[in-house]
Amino acid sequence: MRIKLENLKKYYDSIHAVDDISLDIPENTIFGIIGKSGAGKSSLVRLMSLLEAPDSGAVWYGERRVDNLPKDELIACRRKIGMIFQNFNLFSSRNAGKNVAYPLEICGMPKAQIKERVTEMLKLVGLEDRENAPISTLSGGQKQRVAIARALATQPDILYCDEATSALDPNTTQSILALIREIQKKMNLTVVMITHQMEVVRDACEYVAVVEDGKVVEQGKVKDIFANPKTKTTRDFIKNVLNDKEMVKWSDQTGKFHLHFTGKTPEKPLLSTIAKKFNVEFNIFAAGISHLPDEDVGYMNADIMGSDEEVSKVIAWLEENSVHVRKEQE
Amino acid sequence: MEQILILVGVSTLQTLLMVFFSTLFAILIGFPLGVLLNTTNQYGITPRPVFNSILSRIIDVLRSFPFVILMIVLLPFTRLMLGTAIGTTATIIPLSIAAAPFVARITETALNEVDPGIVQAARAMGSTNWQIIYKVLVPEAMPSVVSGITLTIINLISYSAMAGTLGGGGLGDLAIRYGYQRFRTGVMTAAVIVIIIMVAAIQFAGTRLTNKMLSKR
């Protein structure tokens, strides 16, 4: 289901937690919302998931405005969305299967049908043999799987993931992200992922919005944002992912230019073409590739040496070949 | 000896009767009040600050009454309810009213300790407030509630000894009237031993039940 946010605002004691945010989230996709802690992303997800009402602005699910519903319609609407959390928030008084059964019980599904659906959901998340397991006997990854099964038991159109992988180790994070991607396709879900980890956006999301101080500072397709980040916040996030392991450095020095190769450009012999075509030389300091789900983005940090005129011709030529060039600010 | 056994046996039954019914009524009154205290507080599922602080004050006042005085204050009320203010049945009213605020606070504390994230999850799934209370808050808090009620029962055993002095009978009454006032040390000792066994048995059962619930989590 398509989610539309219009000029959402929410204040807490004069703090602008959400300061005029508008977003258009297409249906059947995974949409990331990334921000540092305190950026307002948790407040934003509470508004989107109808846990709180905005001070002004509107939330639309498809053609329906949902931020101002009367109580019983609000409860009915919440039953059509799923949500998972950083701390899993499973009921410790219920075993894995009974946790999955909860959302079905509250909307009055007959017992036999609940039993069937619980089995089906646990199978979907790969925990069919743990139906009677107490929650405390499950690992973090298994807990999040149960939470996913519970969130999707009512077959909702929307799944909100509030820092869903932040408490998990890297390998478990990857397996949970893979599961979410798989289920998203299977159930045609609109998934909204709130996170502070750029890896999550890179590995799972098609679109991303970067939130800072309660505002959206940048948004678009993940591959475009990775290829050509416009704000410092976004660049910092991307830098954090790259520093992990994907950037190979030849020296501690950094060059004047950052080159971002997108689409099919990593496969073209651009640099050697330039060396033949123009009277410049390259000195490469670092380079790397980020693997996005359906496209790779290459990075290079380099000096381009030559006359100012030749250098600007090279930059223009690179931009024509869809390589984004950004000059280091001194 | 036989006489002691009969005395102690009858008194034990009286104590059990008083404690059982006063526990029952204390839970019937106190438990819903505890749930109300939790759900209407600032962080509860339906915050009602004014109502909450009024209820809270009333409960505090009731709790701060020394039991002996509460018993006397309630004499007219007991007479109104039962037609008499003395006897085993009559002591159940002051005992229940003394223990109810205690149960209310115990329930409130147990519910306050439920992880707010769990409540948020239940709300996000579209639970009504009523469903959150009986399907989430209460089951999550149950082990703490049970261990709190164990404490209440033990308190009621000692209160019932005091209530005995107002003609309620029971082991406390027996110990004082026969044991202390008539210098029959044997009767007093027997009464005290039965009380000790009773307390130990209830504590054992309560702890076991709590642990059993926790071990399933």
HEC letters along chain A: CCEEEEEEEEEECCEEEEEEEEEEECCCCEEEEECCCCCCHHHHHHHHCCCCCCCEEEEEECCEECCCCCHHHHHHHHCCEEEEECCCCCCCCCCHHHHHHHHHHHCCCCHHHHHHHHHHHHHHCCCHHHCCCCHHHCCHHHHHHHHHHHHHCCCCCEEEEECCCCCCCHHHHHHHHHHHHHHHHHHCCEEEEEECCHHHHHHHCCEEEEEECCEEEEEEEHHHHHHCCCCHHHHHHHHHHHHHHCEEECCCCCCCEEEEECCCHHHCCHHHHHHHHCCCEEEEEEEEEEECCCCEEEEEEEEEECCHHHHHHHHHHHHHCCEEEEECCC
Q: Is B136 touching A (CB cutoff 8 A)?
A: yes
ipTM for the assembly: 0.86
In a domain, A235, yes or no: no
What's the gap in Å between the CA of B59 and the closest CA on chain A? 29
In a domain, A294, yes or no: yes
Q: CB-CB: which of B118, B125, B140 is closest to A103?
A: B125
Percent with pLDDT over 90 in chain B: 61
Angle value at C-alpha B183, between B178 and B189, nearest 5 degrees: 65
Chain B partners of A163 at a C-beta cutoff of 8 Å? Answer: none
Task: Please report the pLDDT score of residue A293 as a whole number.
Answer: 67
What's the gap in Å between the CA of A98 and the closest CA on chain B? 11
Q: Does the distance separating the beta carbons of A76 and B126 come in below 8 Å?
A: yes
pLDDT tens-digit map of B101-148? 999 999 999 999 999 999 999 999 999 999 999 999 999 999 999 999
Q: Is B123 touching A (CB cutoff 8 A)?
A: yes
Q: Is B165 touching A (CB cutoff 8 A)?
A: no
Handedness of CA A245, A249, A251, A253 (dihedral sign): negative
Region of A280 please: left (phi>0), alpha (psi -120 to 50) or beta.
Answer: beta
What's the gap in Å between the CA of B112 and the closest CA on chain A? 15
Q: Is the same domain home to A75 and A104? A: yes
Among A1, A3, A2, A21, CA closest to A11: A21
Cα–Cα distance, A119 to A111 (Å, whole number): 13
Q: Does the distance separating the beta carbons of A91 and B128 come in below 8 Å?
A: no
**How many residue contacts between A and B have a Cβ separation below 8 Å?**
68
A216: how many CB neighbours lie within 10 A of its CB? 19
In a domain, A237, yes or no: no
Q: Which two tokens stand for residue A13?
A: 């004691």
Task: Please report the pLDDT score of residue A37 as a whole number.
Answer: 83
Q: Is A102 touching B (CB cutoff 8 A)?
A: yes
Q: Does the distance separating the beta carbons of A91 and B125 come in below 8 Å?
A: no
Q: Does the distance separating the beta carbons of A81 and B139 come in below 8 Å?
A: no
Q: Does the distance separating the beta carbons of B121 and A106 come in below 8 Å?
A: no
Handedness of CA A154, A158, A162, A163 (dihedral sign): positive
pLDDT tens-digit map of A16-35? 788 899 999 999 999 999 99
A contact residues 206-235, partner B, Cβ 8 Å cutoff: none
CATH number at residue A60: 3.40.50.300
Task: Please report, as a single letter, which amino acid is at residue A278.
Answer: F
Q: Is the same domain home to A108 and A205? A: yes
B contact residues 78-117, partner A, Cβ 8 Å cutoff: 115, 117
CATH number at residue B82: 1.10.3720.10
Task: Please report the pLDDT score of residue A246 as a whole number.
Answer: 61
> Which residue out of A43, A93, A157 would a mutagenesis test of the B interface target, given it has the greatest number of B Cβ atoms within 10 Å?
A93
Among B175, B198, B197, B201, CA closest to B4: B175
Out of A229, A263, A294, a domain closes at A229
Q: CB-CB: which of A89, A102, A107 is closest to B120?
A: A89
HSE, side-chain direction, 13 A CA sphere, residue B10? 13
In a domain, A240, yes or no: no
Q: Does the distance separating the beta carbons of A79 and B126 come in below 8 Å?
A: yes
Say what the alpha-carbon torsion angle A181, A186, A187, A193 is, to the nearest 10 degrees: 0
Mean pLDDT of B42-54: 94
Q: Is B122 touching A (CB cutoff 8 A)?
A: yes
* Structural domain that includes position A272: 246-327
A contact residues 140-169, partner B, Cβ 8 Å cutoff: 150-151, 154, 160
Q: Does the distance separating the beta carbons of A83 and B124 come in below 8 Å?
A: yes
In a domain, A31, yes or no: yes
Cβ contact B135:B54 at 8 Å: no
Task: Please report the pLDDT score of residue A277 as a whole number.
Answer: 83
Give me the number of domains chain B comprises.
1
Task: Please report the pLDDT score of residue A89 as a whole number.
Answer: 95
* Structural domain that includes position B19: 2-215
Cα–Cα distance, B137 to A92 (Å, whole number): 11
Give me the number of domains chain A comprises.
2
Q: Does the distance separating the beta carbons of A89 and B117 come in below 8 Å?
A: yes
Report mean pLDDT in 10-residue bins for chain A, 330 residues.
Answer: 92 84 93 89 91 92 92 92 94 95 95 95 94 93 95 95 91 93 93 92 92 91 86 84 64 75 70 82 80 75 83 84 75
Q: Is the same domain home to A302 and A206? A: no
What's the gap in Å between the CA of B135 and the closest CA on chain A? 9
Q: Is the same domain home to A280 and A215? A: no
CATH number at residue A271: 3.30.70.260
Chain A partners of B120 at a C-beta cutoff of 8 Å? Answer: 51, 85, 89
Q: Does the distance separating the beta carbons of B131 and A51 come in below 8 Å?
A: no
Among B156, B157, B153, B121, CA closest to B136: B121
Q: Is B120 touching A (CB cutoff 8 A)?
A: yes
Among A65, A37, A19, A26, CA closest to A166: A37
Q: Is the same domain home to A59 and A113? A: yes
Q: Is the same domain home to A43 and A169? A: yes
> Which residue out of B45, B111, B119, B125 would a mutagenesis test of the A interface target, given it has the greatest number of A Cβ atoms within 10 Å?
B125
Task: Please report the pLDDT score of residue A330 as a whole number.
Answer: 47
Task: Please report the pLDDT score of residue A245 as a whole number.
Answer: 56
Q: Is the same domain home to A73 and A7? A: yes
Out of A203, A229, A255, a domain closes at A229
Q: Is the same domain home to A313 and A219? A: no
In a domain, A131, yes or no: yes
In a domain, A301, yes or no: yes
Percent with pLDDT over 70 in chain B: 100
Chain B CA closest to residue A78: B126
pLDDT band at residue B67 under the 50/70/90 scheme: confident
Cα–Cα distance, A311 to A257 (Å, whole number): 11
Q: Is the same domain home to A173 and A274? A: no
Among A185, A140, A163, CA closest to A84: A163
Q: Is the same domain home to A111 and A217? A: yes
Report CA Rg, chain A.
Answer: 23
Q: Is the same domain home to A161 and A253? A: no
Q: Is the same domain home to A210 and A297? A: no
